[in-house]
Structure formats: C-alpha cells, structure tokens
Chain A
C-alpha cells in the first residue's frame, strides 16, 4: 500500500482547451437555468467536440481512480470520493454522468484537485483508460442489464480483458467473487508492460507503443492463466465482497467450460481458472440481541486487521462496495480508519436511499435497474408485514422489454402487500401473481403511497417507513416529484 500522494505541479491547459472548457461551462449553465438538469453532459459534449484531447489533458498529473461495473457504480464512486477526500480535494462525477462528456465536465470543474474518482460506464472503460493513462481501476460486477440494448455481458468482460492486457494500468481492484470480473482483471498479469505511473509520466516507454500493443493482443490470447501470477501480481488487489448473482457467469470466460459455485468460491470444471485468494474480505457478524442487521467489517487478510464498516447506507451490498473502496483508497494512500469514517458520513447518493415524505408517509427510495440489482434491493426492504412499492418502466434507458422481471426472485416478497406501479405495472402485477405475492396495482406514485398507507391503522400512531424500489426512469421521475435535493 504505497502512498503516492505527492501533489504535482498542475500543467497549464492549452488555450484552446481552456476555451473549449469555457464554452462547455456556458452551455451547461444555460442548461441549468432552463431547468434541464445539471448540464454536465451537454456542456461536456460541446467541450469534447471542440477539443478531442481534453479528457487526456484534464486527467494528466492526477492520481486517478475509475469505477465500473453493472451495479453500484454511482454509490461506490461517492464512497471512494469520500474516502480519498481524507487526503485532499477530489474531482468526481457525483451525478452519474459516466461517459466522456460527464468525465470532462467533472474534471474541468475541479481542475486543481490532485485526485479524481470517476464513475465510468462499463462499455466505455477501454476508451477512457486509453485517454486518461494509468489509473486505479475498480471493477465491481457484471450482470445482464437492458436486454434489448447492450448484448452480452461477456462482450464487456472481453473488452475489459483486452484493455487491461495492453494498456498501462496503475492497479486493478477487482471483485474476486465475480468470475467475469476476475477473468477481466487477470489480463493485467498478461500485460508485459509493468507500467508504473512514474515511467509513464517521464515518457519512459522503451518500445514502440503500437508494435507493443499488437504483440500484447496476440500474446494474451495464447498465454494460459497462471494462478500464481494472478495472486502474486502486485497490480491486482482481489477483494471478496460476496455476490449472489451467478446466472450470467455459469460459462467459464477462459475456456467455455462450466463454472461451479460453492460457498466462498467458484472454480471452472474444465480448466484451472478459479476464484483468486482475496487480499480484502467482507465479513458479516450475525445480528446480536440488540441489533436487527448484521455488523460488517472489512478484513485485510495479509495484516489480519479488521476495519468496522459503520455505514449510513444500508445492506450487504453497500458494505461490499465499501470494502472495494477501502482496498482502492488505502492503495492510493488513504488511512483506513479515516476512510471508513468518511464513508460513514454518506447518507444518500444521487437520490438513492433518500427518505422522502409523500402524503405523510415516509418512503425510502431504492434504485434497482436489473435482476441482480432487484435481488439486492429486495434484501433491503423492511420485513413483512410492512408493505412495499415496486415501480417498473420500460423506456429505452430501462430496456424496452421487461421480461427480465421473471429473473427477479419476487417470491422473497411474500408475506407483505406489494403495490405495483410505473408504466409497466401490469407486467409487474402478472409477475407478482405467479410469485404468489399479494399485490395491488396503482396508477401513480401518490396512489401507490395511499395503497401502502391504507394497510396501517393510523390511530395506532406509529407508521413505519415504506420502501419503494424503482427502476431507472421510474426512479428519476419520482425524484423529480419529491425533489432532488438530499
């Protein structure tokens, strides 16, 4: 865990880049004034169209971390920015604009911050890494998302693998429990360029980079995975955060054999690929008499140290995100206890976990975009008989085919009333019927809240909080309704 936290002299931007940034900021400001949103996407787009090299220039000289994966990117990036802020200012795209325009806007707005924590869309990881140069890459998980739009999570794993096999990387913090992520991360060990940040900054590349890239690409297909190399390569930090979504990784990404999952690990039945031994591990203590939820700690195995994760964010999934962050932040020089304290102060993330009051009922808002996300969210909802609200849309950003509802274990919601709402509430209602879950249909958020509230006897005084799980555009609509400020 070497600290590389020395503040470097910020290189001045070229005049043209400054102009591009200023133009972008002006448009972003106009967009905000017109109440169109934060303006970071449209402003960043304009700036990038004026100066294609802007991302490279804005990233130069910073200690950079990028966070990607199917689920938990935004939350993890928030936690990482908090953990790194114990070392000094951090630039971050906190509102989830995670493609190059959003990254440019975030870095451009915070030019003096010596560190950056950036959420990156999983399809953009190779292109972003190519531009930013060496970074700490935090890879969370890969699972099916938006059936009719982004095909095959395996293709994404493949592009990550290729990028990590030939691009210079500072380090990779990878979820060892996800075979697709693990396989992508092993590419680092096939990357012959042990590129340290210093040699990159000093321009110490000894070979022609194009030639190098070509040979790397040819090489990484033929060199078999070596478990020793995987577990000893200092550029890969393995984290066991747990994960219970296995449907998308039953085929081995290395040999197309079958992956067998068992408690605490997985291995391929046909080749030597198996879960690497983690350096960090999420530990859960069983709930004690005085608490209802388990206490979580991050266990650093080489030093046998335990760091209690006293998060304000709920659930195992966020404890897992925090363990990934702790691994990344300490590798980047943060002090673990301070990082944990900083993460504990985060209470809601771009509306996620926000508790809103709607018609007198307090409603906690959970975002879940795909089967793996819904599975995690269902674990978080208040126990029966407290009702909950589930909302489904199927616009382009959600994926237009909500068939994935049948991959979600809604059976786990039995014993409570579920209010089905959103534009595709009828698809949801049919799914709930076949899951034997008691449910009603509501046409609007207000109606849904009324339906949930009607299950309580208000004369008894105490009305519990109700959980609302919504998919992407439904969640954004409801945030607009209840107000976005945290």
Chain B
C-alpha cells in the first residue's frame, strides 16, 4: 500500500452486514479504481482492532442484538473518534447511524448508549415499522447540497430525533426517514465528516453523485475526477422514481387478481 492508496474500512460486516450495505464499500473502491486511483477495501470483523488510519469508514444495517454488540466493540472515545478527528469520513446506514448517536433502543425499547459521533437520539416507536421506498431532497446548506434527489429503501422500527447541533442530510419527499420530516444526520467533527442515513439500496448504488461527493472529501483533487458512465444508475433511479410516482412505494408491480388469490406477491 502506497501513501496515495485510499483505504476504505467496512466495520463489522459480521454484525452490520444484513442489509446489503456492504455494497457501498465496493462502489467507492470501484469508482476510484475506474479512475486509475489505487484503493483498498478492508473488512474489519467484530472483535478485531479497528485500524485508525483509513480514509473512509462504513457501517451498515443490522438486527437488534448485533447492533448492541457493534456499539460495544466500537467503544467510547475509541479509534473511530480519533480517525474522524484526524479527517476521516464515516458513512453509517440505519443501525449504523443509530449507534453513532447519543442513544438507541434495544429490542425491548430500553435505551442503549451510543458513540455520540452524531447529535441525535433514536427511540422506539409505536408506529408500524418504516418499510419502503424513501426519497430525500438534500438540504441546500448540508453535506449533500446541490446533489440530485437521494433515493433508497428504508427498513427500521426506530425514530431518530436530530439534536440542536445536528444537520439532517435532507428533507423527506416520500417515505418516513427520521420520522419528523427530515432524513439522516450529519456532523463535522474535527477535520472529519460523519453521515448517518436510513437509505439502503445500497445508498451509493442508487446515488452515484453522493459516492463521488464522499470521495472528493478524501481526494481533494477534483482534477482526478473524470466522469464515470452512470447511465445504468440513471435508469435505476428513473425506475424507482417512477415506482414512487405510481404509488408503488413498496416496490410491488403488476399485481394481478391471480397473484392476489395465490398470495404470490
């Protein structure tokens, strides 16, 4: 590994790898490699030491018990805090975001301490689980300012309350998000940035512009950023936007009376 190699760490894929968010790591790596920039993807299983020198850290979604175990492994004032202070970028999805807040609920709704890297707390909700397409307009003064609408799939029981210093990722156009009309929580901490969101899909597969925004923070050289052919991602985005426009936010299409009777979808 040379000094110019960008390193991307996927934290605890064994605990936080249930929802396909690991794809975000592959996407970041490929978008660097396609541009001729060396990149390495490091999987850090739970129980192993977290390297402090990576450029990007990724946390994904997971179930209740593994989520608590992941929070325990990360620890307070641990290596992730130091990496962010130094300038690393963290992208945390769903359970990953909840862990990085001040607190999150366990399966019974009891509050568990989070890492405090994001100014938010997540609580258990009496409302039904938020499951479906999620569409988010980036905030004009947020980390995703100027990017096209963010699309993804949400699947969470908790509701997240951003704190006074928190800047959400965006405003919900369709779906639930944090539960108060906003979606995601972001934070500038030292030289680093932390982004939390409920968008699965994976997020960066559906929003390549956001992937490049994250990379621009660690590369710092826009000249290195020749465009990538994202026409297939555009087709995917158009397909998902069409599904929402047709009220098919749950992704169900072509449901005939026969399907209904056979309970096929």
Binding site for B on A (CB under 8 A): 36-37, 41-42, 144, 147-148, 151-152, 154, 247, 250-251, 256, 258, 394-398, 400-401, 403-407, 423-424, 426-427, 429-431, 433-434, 436, 441, 473, 476
Q: Does B116 contact A (CB under 8 A)?
A: no
B253 touches A423 (CB 8 A): yes
Interface of chain B residues 114 through 162 with chain A (CB within 8 A): 131-132, 153, 155
| One of A400, A403, A473, A476 near B20 (C-beta < 8 A) | A403
B19 touches A151 (CB 8 A): no
A37 touches B23 (CB 8 A): no
The 8 closest A-B pairs by CB, nearest first: A403-B20, A406-B23, A395-B265, A426-B236, A250-B14, A400-B251, A406-B20, A401-B153
Question: Given A152-B63, A403-B200, A429-B236, A258–B19 Cβ distance below 8 Å?
Answer: no
Q: How far is the CA of A256 from the CA of B46 in the complex (A)?
A: 12
Question: Contact string, B150-182, partner A, CB cutoff 8 A, digits 1/0?
Answer: 000101000000000000000000000000000
Q: Does B264 contact A (CB under 8 A)?
A: yes
| One of A147, A394, A430 near B205 (C-beta < 8 A) | A430
| One of B17, B202, B239, B265 near A473 (C-beta < 8 A) | B265
Q: How far is the CA of A36 from the CA of B26 in the complex (A)?
A: 43
B232 touches A403 (CB 8 A): no
B202 touches A426 (CB 8 A): no
A430 touches B232 (CB 8 A): yes
* Smallest beta-carbon distance B43→chain A, Å: 11
A405 touches B20 (CB 8 A): yes
Query: Closest B-chain residue to A259, C-beta based?
Result: B14
Q: How far is the CA of A212 from the CA of B68 in the complex (A)?
A: 34
Which one of B49-57, B80-88, B255-263 is at the interface?
B255-263
* Smallest beta-carbon distance A447→chain B, Å: 15
Interface of chain B residues 233 through 258 with chain A (CB within 8 A): 233, 235-236, 239, 250-255, 258
Q: How far is the CA of A209 from the CA of B124 in the complex (A)?
A: 38
Question: Given A395-B251, A395-B265, A406-B26, A434–B205 Cβ distance below 8 Å?
Answer: yes
A395 touches B264 (CB 8 A): yes
For the complex with contacts A404-B20, A429-B232, 6 further pairs of A-B residues with Cβ separation under 8 Å are A37-B262, A250-B14, A258-B47, A394-B251, A426-B235, A430-B205
> Please, which residues of chain B bring their CB within 8 A of the CB of A397?
263-265
* Smallest beta-carbon distance A54→chain B, Å: 20
* Smallest beta-carbon distance B209→chain A, Å: 14
A426 touches B232 (CB 8 A): yes
Q: Does B30 contact A (CB under 8 A)?
A: yes
A401 touches B27 (CB 8 A): no
Binding site for A on B (CB under 8 A): 13-15, 17-23, 26-27, 30, 45-47, 63, 65-66, 69, 131-132, 153, 155, 200-202, 205-206, 232-233, 235-236, 239, 250-255, 258-259, 261-265
Give the most central of A256, A398, A431: most B CB within 10 Å: A431
Q: How far is the CA of A154 from the CA of B233 in the complex (A)?
A: 34
B66 touches A395 (CB 8 A): no
A403 touches B21 (CB 8 A): yes
Question: Given A431-B205, A433-B232, A251–B132 Cβ distance below 8 Å?
Answer: no
A406 touches B22 (CB 8 A): yes
Q: How far is the CA of A250 from the CA of B262 in the complex (A)?
A: 36
Query: Closest A-chain residue to B258, C-beta based?
Result: A36
| One of A144, A251, A407 near B22 (C-beta < 8 A) | A407
Q: How far is the CA of A381 from the CA of B125 in the complex (A)?
A: 46
| One of A251, A404, A431 near B14 (C-beta < 8 A) | A251
Q: How far is the CA of A247 from the CA of B15 in the complex (A)?
A: 9
Query: Closest B-chain residue to A429, C-beta based?
Result: B232
Q: How far is the CA of A398 from the CA of B22 in the complex (A)?
A: 20
Q: How far is the CA of A224 from the CA of B257 in the complex (A)?
A: 52
B155 touches A147 (CB 8 A): yes
* Smallest beta-carbon distance A144→chain B, Å: 6
What are 5 inter-chain pairs, A to B, with CB distance below 8 A? Answer: A251-B15, A406-B205, A423-B253, A434-B27, A441-B232
A403 touches B19 (CB 8 A): yes
> Please, which residues of chain A bring their CB within 8 A of the CB of B255?
395
> Please, which residues of chain B bring their CB within 8 A of the CB of A394?
251
> Please, which residues of chain A bring their CB within 8 A of the CB of B46?
258
> Please, which residues of chain B bring their CB within 8 A of the CB of A436?
30
Query: Closest B-chain residue to A403, C-beta based?
Result: B20
B45 touches A403 (CB 8 A): no
| One of A148, A396, A431 near B155 (C-beta < 8 A) | A148
* Smallest beta-carbon distance A248→chain B, Å: 8
B200 touches A401 (CB 8 A): yes
* Smallest beta-carbon distance A361→chain B, Å: 25
Query: Closest B-chain residue to A395, C-beta based?
Result: B265
Question: Given A434-B27, A434-B205, A395–B261 Cβ distance below 8 Å?
Answer: no
Q: How far is the CA of A188 from the CA of B195 in the complex (A)?
A: 47
A250 touches B45 (CB 8 A): yes
Give the most central of B20, B26, B253, B262: most A CB within 10 Å: B20
> Please, which residues of chain A bring their CB within 8 A of the CB of B21?
403, 406
Q: How far is the CA of A250 from the CA of B48 in the complex (A)?
A: 13
> Please, which residues of chain B bring their CB within 8 A of the CB of A401?
19-20, 153, 155, 200-201, 251
Give the most central of A251, A403, A423, A431: most B CB within 10 Å: A403
> Please, which residues of chain A bring their CB within 8 A of the CB of B22?
406-407
> Please, which residues of chain B bring their CB within 8 A of the CB of A426?
232, 235-236, 239
> Please, which residues of chain A bring their CB within 8 A of the CB of B232?
426, 429-430, 433, 441
Question: Given A403-B200, A473-B264, A434–B19 Cβ distance below 8 Å?
Answer: no
* Smallest beta-carbon distance A271→chain B, Å: 14
Give the most central of B18, B63, B235: most A CB within 10 Å: B18
* Smallest beta-carbon distance A336→chain B, Å: 38
> Please, which residues of chain B bring their CB within 8 A of the CB of A404?
20
* Smallest beta-carbon distance B101→chain A, Å: 22
Question: Given A395-B253, A396-B252, A434–B265 Cβ distance below 8 Å?
Answer: no
A403 touches B265 (CB 8 A): no
Q: How far is the CA of A256 from the CA of B14 in the complex (A)?
A: 12
> Please, which residues of chain A bring their CB within 8 A of the CB of B262?
36-37, 41
A476 touches B132 (CB 8 A): no
> Please, which residues of chain A bring their CB within 8 A of the CB of B45?
250, 258
Question: Given A151-B63, A258-B45, A426-B235, A403–B132 Cβ distance below 8 Å?
Answer: no
Q: How far is the CA of A251 from the CA of B258 in the complex (A)?
A: 42
Query: Closest A-chain residue to B18, C-beta based?
Result: A144
Query: Closest A-chain residue to B29, C-beta based?
Result: A434
Query: Closest A-chain residue to B133, C-beta based?
Result: A400
* Smallest beta-carbon distance B34→chain A, Å: 10
Q: How far is the CA of A396 from the CA of B132 in the complex (A)?
A: 11
Q: How far is the CA of A41 from the CA of B263 in the complex (A)?
A: 10
